Amino acid sequence: MTKTASLTANQHRFLQNLFPGTDYLTTPEQMLVFETDASRLTGVPLAVVRPQTEEQIVELMRWAHTERIPLYPRARATNVVGLCVPEKPGIVISTLKMNRIIDVDADDFVAVVEPGIVTGDLQKHVEAMGLFYPPDPASFGISTIGGNVATCAGGMRAVKYGVTREWVLGCRVVLPGGKVIECGGRNHKNVVGLDLTRLMVGSEGTLGVMSNITLKLMPKPEATASLMAGFSSLEDAMGAVSSVFRAGILPTALEFMGAEVLDCLARLTTVPWPQGDNGARAVLLFRLDGSEAALPHDLKRLHTALQNGQSTPVWLEQGIGSEQEEPLWEIRRLINPASFYVAPNKISDDVTVPRGRLLTALLGIRRIADESGLTILTFGHVGDGNIHVNVMHDASDPDQKERAQKAKLAVMEHVLALRGTLSGEHGIGLTKAPYVHRQLGEEERRIMRDIKSAFDPHHIMNPGKAF
Amino acid sequence: MTKTASLTANQHRFLQNLFPGTDYLTTPEQMLVFETDASRLTGVPLAVVRPQTEEQIVELMRWAHTERIPLYPRARATNVVGLCVPEKPGIVISTLKMNRIIDVDADDFVAVVEPGIVTGDLQKHVEAMGLFYPPDPASFGISTIGGNVATCAGGMRAVKYGVTREWVLGCRVVLPGGKVIECGGRNHKNVVGLDLTRLMVGSEGTLGVMSNITLKLMPKPEATASLMAGFSSLEDAMGAVSSVFRAGILPTALEFMGAEVLDCLARLTTVPWPQGDNGARAVLLFRLDGSEAALPHDLKRLHTALQNGQSTPVWLEQGIGSEQEEPLWEIRRLINPASFYVAPNKISDDVTVPRGRLLTALLGIRRIADESGLTILTFGHVGDGNIHVNVMHDASDPDQKERAQKAKLAVMEHVLALRGTLSGEHGIGLTKAPYVHRQLGEEERRIMRDIKSAFDPHHIMNPGKAF
């Protein structure tokens, strides 16, 4: 792929001229942070560049295309599957200096932003104008729109509002070779030509570099309410999920926490649900949104659906408005720190199954946990079948490490047998790339490679990732 | 593209064997209906085949790929832009015999269907189970899911629920050459590989033939309500649209009818709004949906937003539940028959502009009407900036015909200058293909062609269409 494993003097000069001062980094100390992402895998970049304009990206892409040098775009690198890791020698492109909000239009209901803007910052900005950008990956406070679009980030509100894909109207993309294409635009409906916009969404940096992104916004819902309910068994909790949907209710968010998660939360904090013999062994957390006047009625309806279903909660608590709701959601956010009470290491996956197969999936994962002798935490977005699976283990014990790896593979096989998917949110990156062929056929992958070649004929964009 | 303008004896025999009896049509009488679509343009098919199984499509695609014979998939052919017209000699594939509902799963919230199922039939079927498939193109009672997916059909409810794209989870596609790919699946979240599913959506039959389609469903909203409001001017009506969104209300549907439309409706039927000097010169029609208990509150909120906005309606009427709402929507459906009171012919377009530029777009279209001396009807889905434009004229008068054509082009230029799009719903097909370059750049189209080649290297699928 590369002609050299280090830059020539000419190449070095070119980059230095294009990216003045500290926008061009080459020392090991400067590059340290750019070697890795949240996967903790590492690579060694030849150099790091920090463009501030599209023109710089154009020049860079023209040059890298000719020189056949791999490029690794990244923003905050919160990705857990090694998507941002420069596996082969190449140039890391940090988009963090391109973080402007170019335009938020309350009449068009669009925001045009540069890729490096932090999602939560954009959300605060538009919410102050009465507007709303629904996608809320767990990382929204630290991850960027560019990264969210590149991975088609999900989040809790996806049950009602869908994932990032549904909120991207267009993007400008610099291609290897330096040409710039305009995909989509500011229109909420647009059926002219093949849908290049959504092809970019979730493409994991393998096709080009986005220089700006146009997002669809909606009016901010007037109010929200939340309800947390505890059940005496996993079966009861999943029965309740089904009762709620069958009652015609589409919650904004519907989160789940399994028994093992409840146990470790109880070690970290004072939990609100009853414990012990008649306590909660599975918890659901709902959020609703809507108009202020209508919300109490909708909350009551949810309450009724839960009480009248086949499986009644052993406990519930509800709140209207962020002050009342916040304590319920705070518990949800403690799962990650609490998990380390179980074991120092985890293998995280975010498998997804068709919504109706959740119980089968979760029972199977419990069986795999029993067989492996390890604790497997299950929680997440059951509203859309998306389960976070943490295989807890002590990686300093080779036997545990091996059992954890075997358990991970068993979960994957189990999920695929249920016609689920390897990833609902995190993407493929490096860590799941070896397993993609178990889900995608040869011809599907051939087409994906050919599409990639249409954008990136020399395959310099984020090589080794995705498919 | 084709070796011959008629089939050889061998080719004839092959098709006859593959499609027994009346599933293979060759006489001019049998093929008449397959020459055209709702565009009224015509072509001459070499033959028409009506597959009943995927296996037949596989064999056909293997053969046509080798023989380099163009293929034209079609279902009900309600398309108005010539998408189904066999412009060059080739085989028309009617998918109408593949119209089964394979599976509707109330737990997975998916429907798996063959492409030939009529959208409205599927909707009735799933609604009886408490489920809901939101996309509602005007043709829903006569058009098919296959056609809706191929064109990324829109509809009135797109304001709240998005277009067809948002509701397609997966599809099986037979490629030229006979290989079958599986795009997406039954999972509500899935980020494994490039998004081939949404690439198929809106691809206008240029990539392959879908043999089945997996749709996402949601719980059926408990109740609906509608409100129709008349305004003394176009400016006031557009001001009200803005007031409603700014009040944080996201209606399910938001339709508009311009003054010229109101005039011709009054000639066909008894209209409910006041006419004359202080009468309505623009009408908005809203639909809301939600829970039964909440809906009256939401309707009141809409009412308040309209009364408190800058521009108060001169008249309004509202209804809760389909019996009360139906008369309001019946008027909307009369636009097409009423339009012929103005002139015997129309050039229809469905341009879309960023939502905030609606007033500018509509004022510009009125100016173009004045200059052309023709009546231009404007109505449609203003909730997402999608305006149906009917240039009314008498095509038997060459001068009128020419002025109509000029007016159409002027509307297009005007819309593109506002950063709008040539089509929000109808697609490109044959009739808009000559104008695509005005919206899409050379590099965007080069990539689309290369992507097409990845699916269809000999360009046998629906040649001459789309891009």
Domains of chain A by residue range: 9-96, 101-219, 223-417
What sign has the CA pseudo-torsion B349, B353, B356, B361?
Answer: negative
3-state secondary structure of A253: strand
Would A9-96 and A223-417 be classified into the same CATH topology?
Answer: no
The answer to whether B413 faces chain A, any CB pair under 8 Å, is no
Distance from the A398 Cα atom to the nearest Cα atom in chain B, whole angstroms: 30
Q: Which residues of chain A have pLDDT under 70?
A: 1-4
- Give the SS3 label for residue A425: coil
**Is B459 within 8 Å of chain A by CB?**
no
| Yes or no, beta carbons of A423 and B166 under 8 Å apart | no
The predicted pLDDT at position A3 comes to: 42
- HSE toward the beta carbon, residue A465, CA cutoff 13 A: 33
Taking the Cβ of residue B40 and every Cβ of chain A, the question of whether any pair is shorter than 8 Å is answered with no
Report CB contact under 8 Å: B190, A423: yes
Residues of A in Cβ contact (< 8 Å) with B166? 162, 166
Amino acid at B363: L
Beta bridge partners of A288: A225
**CA-based nearest distance A94→chain B, Å:** 23
AA letter at B277: D
Residues in B touching A353 (Cβ below 8 Å)? 187
CATH topology of domain A101-219: 3.30.465
Instruction: Please tell me the number of Cα atoms within 13 Å of A241 on its side-chain side.
Output: 29
pLDDT score for A259: 97
Per-residue confidence (pLDDT) for residue B1, from 0 to 100: 40
- Name A354's Cβ contacts closer than 8 Å, sequence gap at least 6: A385, A418, A419, A420, B105, B107, B108, B110, B185, B186, B187
pLDDT of the residue at A457: 98
Q: Give how far Cα A467 sits from Cα of A419, A451, A457, B193, B287, Å.
A: 19, 12, 16, 6, 43
* pLDDT at residue A83 in the model: 96
> A184 to chain B, minimum CA–CA distance in Å?
9
Query: Which residues of chain B does A152 touch, with a Cβ-Cβ cutoff of 8 Å?
Result: 191, 195
DSSP letter, residue A220: P
Q: Quickly count: other Cβ atoms within 10 Å of residue A9's Cβ.
A: 7
Whether the Cβ atoms of residue B226 and residue B319 lie closer than 8 Å to each other: yes
- Residues B27-38 have pLDDT tens digits of 999 999 999 999
**CATH code of the domain occupying A9-96:** 3.30.43.10
Min Cα separation B63/chain A (Å): 19
> Which residue has tokens 């229809």?
B348
Q: Which of residues 329-368 of A touch B (CB under 8 A)?
A: 352-357
Interface test with A, best of B189, B286, B295, B444 (most A CBs within 10 A): B189
Would you give per-residue pLDDT tens digits along chain B (467 residues)? Answer: 444 479 999 999 999 999 999 999 999 999 999 999 999 999 989 999 999 999 999 999 999 999 999 999 999 999 999 999 999 999 999 999 999 999 999 999 999 999 999 999 999 999 999 999 999 999 999 999 999 999 999 999 999 999 999 999 999 999 999 999 999 999 999 999 999 999 999 999 999 999 999 999 999 999 999 999 999 999 999 999 999 999 999 999 999 999 999 999 999 999 999 998 899 999 999 999 999 998 999 999 999 999 987 889 999 999 999 999 999 999 999 999 999 999 999 999 999 999 999 999 999 999 999 999 999 999 999 999 999 999 999 999 999 999 999 999 999 999 999 999 999 999 999 999 999 999 999 999 999 999 999 999 999 999 999 88
What was the ipTM of the complex prediction? Answer: 0.96
| Interface mutation target, options A190, A295, A467, chain B, most CBs of B under 10 Å | A190
Q: Do B199 and A201 touch (CB under 8 A)?
A: no
**Best of A214, A243, A244, A447 to mutate (most B CBs within 10 Å, chain B):** A447
Buried-state track B47-82, b at ≥16 Cβ within 10 A, e below 16: bbbbbbebebbbbbbbbbbebebbbbbbbbbbbbbb
The single-letter DSSP state of residue A175 is P
Can you tell me the distance from the alpha carbon of B368 to that of A257, in angstroms, rounded to the nearest whole number?
A: 60
Chain B partners within 8 Å of A220 (Cβ): 248
In 3-state terms, what secondary structure has residue A149?
helix
Between chains, do A291 and B248 touch, taking CB under 8 Å as contact?
Answer: yes
CA dist B98 and A53 (Å) reads 52
Cβ distance A192 to B423 less than 8 Å, yes or no, reads yes
Amino acid found at A416: L
- Which CATH architecture group holds B223-417? 3-Layer(aba) Sandwich (3.40)
Nearest to B166 among A154, A166, A420 (CB): A166
Q: How far is CA A342 from CA A271, A345, A364, B298, in A?
A: 17, 9, 20, 47
Give CA–CA dist A219/B246, Å, rounded.
7
Residues of A in contact with B433 (CB under 8 A): none
**pLDDT tens per residue across span B115-158:** 999 999 999 999 999 999 999 999 999 999 999 999 999 999 99
Question: Which class for A433: exposed (0-12), middle (13-18), buried (19 or more C-beta within 10 A)?
Answer: middle
> Cα–Cα distances in Å, from B304 out to A176, B134, B240, B307?
53, 27, 11, 5
The residue among B240, B216, B264, B260 whose CA lies nearest residue B383 is: B240
Summarised one tens digit per residue, pLDDT across range B173-226 is 999 999 999 999 999 999 999 999 999 999 999 999 999 999 999 999 999 999
Separation CA A332–CA B279 (nearest Å):
56
